[in-house]
Structure 1
Amino acid sequence: MEMISSCLVGRENNEIANSITRLELNPWDLRLLPIVPIQRGLIYHKPQSQNIISHLKNSLSRTLNFFPPLAGRLSATHHDDCTKSYFVDCNNAGAEFTHAATASISVSDLIGPKYIPEIVYSFFPLDSLTNFEAISKPLLAVQVTELADGLFLGCAANHAVVDGTSFWHFINSWSEISRGLKNISKTPVFSRSTKPVKVGNHLTPRPMVETPPLLRKVFHLGKERLTELKNKANSTGGSDKISSYQALAALLWRTITRCQKFTNMNMSSSREIYFALVVGARSRIGLDEGYFGNAIYTAGTSTTERELLQNGIGYAAVKINELVKQQTREAVMENFEDSENRAFIRKLPSFFIIGSPRHDVYGNDFGWGKPVAVRCGRGRDIDGKITVFAAAECGGVDLEVSLAAEKMVAMENDTEFTAALAH
């Protein structure tokens, strides 16, 4: 791959009235400082235009008019009590924009193989950079890689500044401006407490856990299969409140647990099996849907391996449904006010679901058609990371799964899981 150019792209208009100049990080933001940026990539067939790179730079600059923090820099204020507080200085230092090309790689090379090829991860910027290490570095980076017959648009954003909802809000807005719109359909909301939250000088990257080489694969469930899965979970769980997403999470909880048991026969059936859920807070506490920043936290539940595997999908789905119901406004605010992060999940789940089917991925038409696929960056390799995306067709979902090779093979041959995938 040839790296053709790299530059910083600032806001087109640095004098916009009422523009935000400083954004304090709140407890939800601060908890994500030790991890890595969000990395997502969109794959397109080759555009007809000959000026794609300059067009994307110009439209990015115009989009940053509406998102000043993403053109800024992470900064820290040091206090006399040996603590510090973090904020975004909206100084228009610019987002990073890299133009690359590889004539030897085609779209089919990226989406055709059974497993996601390693070359994909070279198309993402800000690779392996921890969020709090990004002091005075770009908070947003874009790498546009021209393929033999397509385009890979790799985007990365500091996770202490955006969650998945804010990330896709920006990408959706950029695609609107790129198509020629003068204004974006949803205005970001930056209002939040202006009181800095102090933290100690203890921030270190989350320790890397030794993992075997991982395989990554995309599995697809169509709308009809999701409906069948939801109906089965409700009927066997004696409920009518279980959602498609909860039923899917229950299926994955059971599947990954079986895969672990299959690859380690010495595991006890009485061991505790933990499930962690990323909870969205916006609707639960009345935040504007355009709230810019992190409005997520993690909650969990557990059961024994024996109970999880012997009681069927309905049992697991009811456990997850009960966990979701516990996430009341009071629970959300208690979590938010826990500035010392006592509420953060400390037990290690057997897998972790991130992403959401609610994010608009395939609507990102920059003026030359919708994407043909979406891919994640490597981030920190985690055995058991599952990213959920809305599928290209309405109502379906795609799962990007990262697993150790023997677990992946077990998942591919798991009877319950493959039955849910069947067309």
Structure 2
Amino acid sequence: MSFLPLLVSEDREDHRSHSPTAPWHFPASGPALPQSSIPLTFYDVWWLGFPPVERVFFYRLAPDADLPRLLSNLKGSLSTALRAFFPLAGNVRLTPGAASTRHDIFYAPGDGVPFTVAEYEYDGADLASHEPRQVADIAQLAPRLPGGGALLAVQATVLRQRRGLALGVTLQHAACDGAGSTNFLHTWAATCAGAEPPAPPVIDRALIGDHQGLYDHYAKNMISSKELESVVKLPTDQLMATFTLSGVQLQSIKDAVAGQAVRRGQPPPRCSSLVAALGFIWCCHFRAKAGSAVKAGGFGAEETYFSLAVDHRRWSKPPVPTAYLGNCIGPAICTAPKKELALAGASSLLTACAVIAAGIEKAVAAPEWETLMERIKEVAPTGILSVAGSPRFLVYGLDFGFGRPVKVEIVSVARTGAVAVAECGALGTGLEMGISLPPAGMKAFQRCFSDALACLL
């Protein structure tokens, strides 16, 4: 079965016309793929209640770009990529006949992925800018997942009289982590561009052992929809902006942290470029959020929290293949006294970078899987800044044959409050961080970011 592409036209008053039929793309023709049931692991199950991950990739198109051919190539290569990544064309469900907490990804011949083609006549600021923009303007470029447990949806939106293209990809996190999803995207892009694709995915989830009964524990204690209520609805006034740290600036942060550690007579923490960037952003975010309390020094024994994902593939026993398609990450939860993050200059940077480095080391060496869910529920109400994405995913290398993206956004951080991290597409070196805040919070963060950079010079 095949469908014609759906064209959604939008005028400047934000009126839309929708086709009643949805376009789907299926794994490419060839020997029939068998019906498959792929059980979720303990790494997967706790993502079931979370909102999906929404990415948007912005591309500039040449004035003479053959748009019909471009879109045809995108759709055809998607079908080819899905043949290797067929679980993403399936649906997550309760496993029939099993205990009510057991879930699997069920693929049956005929399952596919919705691919929407849209046209957006947007008469505002450049959506691919680093400057603050309305999240609502960007969010509609990411497709919604259909009901019924669908895992993946794609939308190609022609922008500004066909001078640009936004490729929106929405993925249910229970299907796979960022390493798995970007492996799929790199495979799709290489297939479309006629390049050599990366290694095929490893789909066998029996590679993930569960000797402690963690699946049942996590399934029974999953974060509820009520606990996630604040991240389900997108705030109407939310802004999104990107902040970059060059290689030179990252080295300045490392030097400041090392120098402060020496002055305190303590060994400097292991401060990679990622740790330096995250420590810097955490300090800026905290100071912007705390506002006048920072100047007043109005903190007692209160603590604040930061969380980032640690990939356990290489640390598992035995190691899990790099190309494993599924989740194999766990959070490193880092804790710092608010009064120390409120300190001026390198003192707060040393605290932030030290606890992030220590949190990563602990998550690798001695992950506390049994109490992890309870720990997350304990700290979440007090506020926790988390990380989405990774510079290791090389999202700015996704060339489908019409150039690399000029901007990549993880739109879903506007719901979760996370920081979106990637390699720096604009500078060629360094890192970039996507932040989403209401207008007043964004102004405060911009001021704190600028002031903190000035202190490093």
What TM-score do the two structures reach when normalised by structure 1?
Answer: 0.86
5+ residue gaps, structure 1: none
Q: What does residue range 130-149 of structure 1 map to in structure 2 within 5 Å?
A: 136-147=148-159, 148=161, 149=163
Q: Does 1:325 align with 2:343?
A: no
1:352 aligned to which of 366, 386, 399 = 386
User: d(CA) in 2 for partners of 1:247 and 1:103?
Assistant: 40
Alignment of structure 1 residues 253-332 onto 2, 5 Å:
253-262=282-291, 268-270=298-300, 271-285=302-316, 286-310=319-343, 311-331=347-367
**Equivalent-residue separation in structure 1 for 2:321 and 2:98 (angstroms):** 36
User: Does the 8 Å CA contact 2:388/2:413 hold for their aligned counterparts?
Assistant: no
- For residues 264 and 239 of structure 1, do their structure 2 counterparts lie closer, same or farther at Cα, with a shift above 3 Å needed? closer
Alignment of 1:28-67 (within 5 A): 28-46=43-61, 48-49=65-66, 50-67=68-85
Aligned residue number for residue 120 of structure 2: 102
Give, in whole Å, the separation in 1 of the partners of 2:363 and 2:438.
Answer: 32
**Counterpart of 1:91?**
108
Name the structure with the higher helix share: 2
Q: Cα deviation per residue 1:125-150 (whole Å; 9 max; x = unaligned)?
A: 12xx6xxxx76343110000111211
Q: Secondary structure at the match of 2:230?
A: coil
1:209 aligns with 2:241: no
Aligned to 1:366: 400
Quote the offset at 1:329 in angstroms. 4.8
List gaps (5 residues or longer) in structure 2: 1-7, 10-17, 262-266
Match of 1:241 in 2: 270
Secondary structure, in 3 states, of the residue corresponding to 1:303? strand
8 Å CA contact 1:36, 1:380 repeated in 2: no
Equivalent AA in structure 1 for residue 246 of structure 2: G
Question: For the structure 1 residues 218 and 379, does the alpha-carbon distance in structure 2 shift closer, same or farther, using more than 3 Å as the test?
Answer: closer
Is 1:256–1:350's contact at 8 Å kept on the other side of the alignment? no
Mark the CA change 1:379 to 1:30 in structure 2 (over 3 Å): closer, same or farther: same
Count of matched residue pairs: 407
CA contact (8 A) 2:413 2:436 kept: no
Q: Is the 8 A contact 2:53 2:412 kept in 1?
A: no
Please say which of residues 59-68 and 290-299 is displaced more in the overlay.
290-299
- The question of 1:184 aligning with 2:175 is answered no
Deviations 1:200-231 (A, max 9, x none): 59774243238784221111111211122122
Give 1:111's aligned residue: 128
> Which residue, out of 400, 414, 419, partners 2:454?
419
2:281 maps to 1:252: yes
Amino acid at match of 1:207: L
Are residues 160 and 80 of structure 1, via their aligned partners in 2, closer, same or farther at CA, if it must alter by over 3 Å?
Answer: closer
SS at match of 2:27: coil
Cα shift at 1:30 = 0.5
**Match for 1:145: what amino acid?**
T
Are the counterparts in 1 of residues 59 and 164 from structure 2 also a CA contact under 8 Å? yes
Contact 1:236-1:315 within 8 A present in 2 as well:
no
Amino acid at match of 2:379: K
Match of 1:10 among 21, 26, 36: 26
- Give the aligned residue type for 2:255: N
Q: What percentage of residue pairs aligned between the two structures are identical?
A: 24
CA distance in 2, matches of 1:262, 1:223: 29
RMSD: 3.0
The one of 393, 409, 428 equivalent to 1:394 is 428
Counterpart secondary structure, 2:357: helix
1:255 and 1:416 in contact (8 A); partners too? no
State the alpha-carbon separation in 2 of the partners of residues 249 and 201 from structure 1.
29
**Letter of the 1:355 counterpart:** G
